[in-house]
Amino acid sequence: MTDVNRITDGNVVAVVRLDDLSKAVELTRALAAGGVTSVEFTFTNPNAANVITTVRAAVGDDAFVGAGTVLDAETARIAILAGAQYIVTPSFRPETIQMCRRYSIPAVIGAFTPTEILTAWETGADFVKVHPASLGGPKYFKDVLAPFPHIKLIPSGGVTLENVPDFIKAGAVAVAMGSALVDPNAIQAGDWTSITNRARSLYDSVAAAKGNEGVSANSTAPSSSVN
C-alpha cells in the first residue's frame, strides 16, 4: 500500500486539535483500534512536532501520522523532519506542495472554490480538503466533481456520522472529522473504549457508503491493544 492509499483505504482522517496532547499516544491507539489509522495533529498546538515524533516512535506502522493546520512551507519541513507522514493545510499554498514533493510526502491541501480546488490539484496536491464542507454540503461535492471527477476530495468541517454516507456517495474519497470523533471529554477521562467505538462506527459508515459493507474495522484495524 502506498502512503497516499493509506488515507483513502483508511476512510477517515482524525483531526486532533487539542490544547493538551499529553495523551496523544493513547488516543492514537484507541482510534487505530477502531479502524481510524490516519491521525492528524494540528500545529495550532506549539508542541505538535514533538508529539508527532513521540507518537510515531510509540505506535510504529499501526497509524499514519500527519501534521495539520500547516500554514507555510517552513512549518511543513519542521513537521516532516519530526516524522509527519503527510501534510494538511487549511488553504492553498503552492510552496507547501513543493516542499511535500521534495520529501515525497502526501499533501492534503485546503481549498473551497472550484478554481482553488483545480489549482491545488494541478499544482500537485494528492488530495484537496474542502473546508468548511458544511457550507456546501454533499451536493456541493457532487456539483464540483461533475467537471472534475479525477480530483480526490476530502470534506472537513461539519462532517457528522449522519452525513458521512452522503459525502461519500457524492464522491468524497474519505472524510476528516475533529471533535465529533476526538471527544475532549472522553480523552480527559481516559475513556478509550468510547473513542474506539466512535472510530469504529465512523469507519464502518464510510466503508458501507463505499460499498465495502463486508469489510469491517474489526478485520482491518491493527491488532495492538489500547492501554
Q: If we measure between CA atoms, which residue out of 184, 141, 186, 185 comes closest to residue 159?
A: 141
Maximum pairwise Cα distance, the chain: 47
Residue 40 known to be catalytic: yes
Helix (H) / strand (E) element for 167: namely helix 164-169
Q: What residue has cell string 502506498?
A: 2
> Among 23, 26, 40, 116, which one carries the catalytic annotation?
40
Q: If we measure between CA atoms, which residue out of 92, 101, 50, 45 comes closest to residue 68?
A: 45
The full DSSP string for 137-160 is HHHHHHHHHTT-TTS-EEE-SS--
Residue 162 known to be catalytic: no
The full DSSP string for 10-79 is H-EEEEE--S--TTHHHHHHHHHHTT--EEEEETTSTTHHHHHHHHHHHHGGGSEEEEES--SHHHHHHH
> Among 129, 139, 152, 213, which one carries the catalytic annotation?
129
Residue type, 159: V
Q: What residue has cell string 512549518?
A: 75
**Catalytic residue positions, numbered:** 40, 129
